[in-house]
Each structure stands twice: as structure tokens, then as C-alpha cells.
Amino acid sequence: MRIGVYVCHCGSNIAGTVRVSEVAEFARSLPNVTIARDYLYMCSEPGLELVKSDITEFNLDRIVIAACSPAMHQATFMNEAERVGLNPYCLERANIREQCSWVHADSDTATQKARDLLAAAVVKASLASVSAAAAASPMPDDFRVSITNPPGKGAYPIASFTWLLIPTQIQDADKREAIKEFLDWMLTSGQRYCEGLGYAKLPMELVSKEMKAIALIR
């Protein structure tokens, strides 16, 4: 995971209250952050070129923009990221204008809140945080589980599994073996394709439990 973080000054709209250079420096200490910068206007052409250049130079696979509301310029950021080969849905936003600088007069309060929102966006941007959520949640034998608000630092609070409903008995032998073979591939060598498609890998403990369940299909 290689995350790029970009903190916008928005002229004085953000920088007038939030200490943006301090927020960018804080971002450099966060897990999986490869590059963190602050810039006067991230939505400007030079700002967008900076992001695109970094995506290419540093082989970034996730982007976090700390700026205004996602209601503004979201399509612009997504489209520009896609132009250089990044999945546009691998871009996260932290709203540090409407939720920080515009509602807090105190610089210390606004800056700390901006740090907190940025840290949350970086955790969300990391597939490792979703895997951590899965690993922190014990899996019952019937696989009925919620991994919302899991314990553990670095576990993303809003995550979920994707389920396949497979009959325990399949009369057609060819169909049964084809399904079992596909599931076996999906849980083993197929997992190497997960991150490229925007999915988190399953913890090995869970894979082992699922393989045992697949072996019971008759």
C-alpha cells in the first residue's frame, strides 16, 4: 500500500485557521503514507498536476485529499487520478474546511481536528485496515458475523465481508467439483489479485476455516 496525502491551503479559507504544514508533517508519520504535501490550491491545474506526477513517480495506489467538502471537486480529483491509471475509487477525502477551519476559531482545535480527520481518511484508504478489521473479529462456525467497529488499533470501523451462499449438497458432480475448485482458487492463489481490484485479503486463519467448510460440500 502506497498512499499519497495532499493538504490544501484553499488560500486562507483553510490555512487561516488550520496549520496545514503541520498537518502534512503529521501525515508523513502515518502507516503506508509514501508522500505527503501541502499546496495552496489542490484543485488548481498545478495542484492536480502535482498529484498526477506523484502517482506516477511514487507508484501510488491510494490518494487522500484533505481540503474542502467532497461535494466540491470530487469528480475533478477522481477524473484526474484516473488519467494516470489510478482507480478513481481509491481516492479519499478529508473535509478540513467546512468541518475544521470554518467552524473553529481556535487554531489549535482546528489543527488537531484536521489531523484526526486526516488520520481517519488514511486508515480508510488502506486495505490493510480492512484486513485488520477482519482479523480482529472472531469467526463463528456458521460464518454469521459483523466486523463493524472491531477492536484493535488500525482496524477500519466500517467494513464487511462479501458472502457466497453455497449449498452443502450439490447433486451434479461436475458442478460440485467446479464450484469447489473455484472456491479453492479464490481463497488461495486468487487472493494475490485482491488489492489490484480494490479488495482486502482475507486473514489466513479465516481462509483455513473456510477451506474446511468447503471440504464438507457433498
The arithmetic mean of pLDDT across residues 206-213, rounded, is: 92
In a shared domain, residues 95 and 15: yes
In a shared domain, residues 107 and 153: no
In a shared domain, residues 134 and 113: no
In a shared domain, residues 97 and 139: no
In a shared domain, residues 139 and 103: no
Of 70, 92, 125, which one is at a domain's C-terminal end?
Answer: 125
Of 110, 125, 140, which one is at a domain's C-terminal end?
Answer: 125
The arithmetic mean of pLDDT across residues 87-108, rounded, is: 94
pLDDT digits (tens, 9 = 90+) for 28-76: 998 889 999 999 999 999 999 999 999 999 999 899 999 999 989 999 9
Question: Model-level pTM?
Answer: 0.66
Q: What's the chain's average pLDDT?
A: 91
Beta bridge partners of 167: none
The arithmetic mean of pLDDT across residues 177-191, rounded, is: 94
125: pLDDT strictly greater than 70: no
Cβ neighbors of 10 (< 8 A, separation 6 or more) are: 41, 67, 68, 97, 101
* CATH number, domain containing residue 116: 3.40.50
Separation between Cα atoms, residue 186 and residue 181, nearest integer Å: 9
| Residue type for position 131 | S
- Domain range for 155 is 129-215
Instruction: Please give the tally of structural domains in the chain.
Output: 2
- pLDDT band at residue 197 using 50, 70 and 90 as cut-offs: confident
In a shared domain, residues 63 and 162: no
126: pLDDT strictly greater than 80: no
In a shared domain, residues 175 and 92: no
The alpha-helical segments, DSSP class H, found in 58-126 are: 74-83, 107-125
In a shared domain, residues 121 and 152: no
In a shared domain, residues 17 and 105: yes
Of 68, 92, 125, which one is at a domain's C-terminal end?
Answer: 125
Burial 99-125 (b: 16+ CB within 10 A, else e): bbbbebeeeeebbbbbbebbbebbbbb
Q: Residue holding cell 475448485?
A: 181
In a shared domain, residues 100 and 76: yes
In a shared domain, residues 45 and 90: yes
